[in-house]
């Protein structure tokens, strides 16, 4: 049996025990569900700083009536906004992507995208540029679901140096590799947290740094994305989620 990660908040551990006891699910499934359920149904408030602008952003995870899950991110500034959503299910502690939708509101729709997954076969990409079918037999994630699987992997398995995910994009599959740098204290408007710091890419190219707080079920508390031209966007948690 896989060893469960050493750090849990009290709420996460309670959910794990109760879920495992009621449904007698494998440890991996119970732990993954506990991670998702910790803040399910609540709007998590973030702020995005980009090109001198400050955007309000919310993230939400919820359980669907059919037993699946949905994650939704919304960012807005005046009459403009971006909304992305991911539908997925859990299978033995692993996320299985079903669909992904990205829409810009009040702006050009040329970047809008919808992905429809057929597990074990690949996905269908639908955009204003047309429709494409991409074959891929191995497990696939979308831009939202791979972040949730990262949280699950951090919480429910032994630490490792690198975390890799095959992420479906518009017309290709990209491999997202995160290097574990270590733990450090990070200050946010929601408070100061001890967080696991991960990096993806290299400085001078597309480069991401992300901090995830174990006490919040490895919720992202800060993320910095930097492009090749030094253009930078920063996302930070602005309010600590209420304890369940």
pLDDT in tens, 81-109: 899 999 999 999 999 999 999 998 877 78
The answer to whether position 235 is within a domain reads no
The answer to whether position 225 is within a domain reads no
pLDDT at 10: 46
Q: What is the DSSP string of 78-127?
A: TTEEEEEEEEEEEETTEEEEEEEEEEEESS-STT-EEEEEETTTEEEEEE
Q: How far is CA 187 from CA 10, 211, 222, in A?
A: 22, 10, 9
pLDDT at 50: 76
Strand 232-237 and strand 219-226: the pairing is antiparallel
Rounded CA gap, 100 and 102, in Å?
7
Identify the burial level of 157 via C-beta atoms within 10 angstroms of its C-beta, where 0-12 means exposed, 13-18 middle and 19 or more buried: middle
The answer to whether position 144 is within a domain reads yes
Nearest Cα residue to 241 out of 93, 92, 41, 99? 41
| Number of domains observed in the structure of the chain | 1
CA 212 to chain centre: 11
The answer to whether position 126 is within a domain reads yes
The answer to whether position 210 is within a domain reads no
The answer to whether position 47 is within a domain reads yes
pLDDT tens track of the chain, all 244 residues?
334 444 444 445 444 444 444 443 589 999 999 999 999 999 999 999 877 788 899 999 999 999 999 999 998 877 778 999 999 999 999 999 999 999 988 777 888 999 999 999 999 999 999 999 999 999 999 999 999 999 999 999 999 999 999 999 999 999 999 999 999 999 999 999 999 999 999 876 789 999 999 999 999 999 999 877 677 889 999 999 986 5
Residue entry with tokens 């290709």: 172
Q: What is the DSSP string of 162-229?
A: EEEEEEE-SSSEEEEEEEEEEEEEEEETTEEEEEEEEEEE-BTBSEEEEEEEGGGTSEEEEEEEE-TT
The answer to whether position 153 is within a domain reads yes
In this structure, what are the phi and psi dihedrals at residue 216, rounded to the nearest 5 degrees?
-110, 25
Q: How far is CA 104 from CA 37, 90, 97, 133, in A?
A: 28, 28, 22, 23
Residue entry with tokens 């009621």: 22
Residue entry with tokens 């939708």: 101
Largest CA distance in the chain: 52
The answer to whether position 55 is within a domain reads yes
pLDDT at 52: 79
Q: Which domain holds residue 69?
A: 10-178
* Residue 131, helix vs strand vs coil: strand
pLDDT at 20: 43
């Amino acid at each position: 049996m896989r060893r469960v990660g050493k750090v849990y908040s009290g709420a996460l551990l309670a959910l794990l025990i109760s879920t495992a006891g009621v449904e007698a699910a494998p440890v991996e499934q119970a732990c993954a569900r506990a991670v998702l359920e910790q803040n399910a149904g609540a709007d998590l408030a973030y702020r995005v700083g980009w090109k001198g602008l400050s955007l309000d952003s919310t993230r939400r995870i919820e359980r669907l009536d059919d037993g699946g899950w949905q994650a939704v991110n919304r960012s807005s500034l005046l009459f403009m906004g971006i909304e992305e959503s991911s539908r997925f299910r859990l299978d033995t502690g692993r996320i299985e992507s079903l669909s992904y939708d990205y829409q810009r509101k009040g702006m050009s729709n040329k970047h809008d995208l919808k992905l429809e997954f057929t597990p074990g076969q690949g996905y269908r990409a639908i955009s204003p540029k047309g429709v494409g079918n991409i074959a891929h037999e191995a497990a696939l994630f979308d831009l939202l679901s791979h972040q949730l699987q990262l949280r699950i992997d951090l919480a429910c398995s032994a630490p490792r140096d690198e975390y890799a995910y095959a992420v479906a994009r518009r017309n290709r599959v990209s491999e997202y590799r995160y290097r574990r740098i270590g733990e450090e204290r990070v200050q946010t408007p929601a408070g100061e947290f001890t967080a696991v710091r991960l990096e993806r890419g290299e400085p001078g190219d597309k480069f991401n740094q992300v901090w995830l707080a174990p006490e919040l079920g490895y919720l992202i508390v800060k993320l910095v994305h930097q492009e090749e031209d030094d253009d930078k966007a920063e996302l930070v948690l602005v309010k600590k989620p209420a304890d369940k």
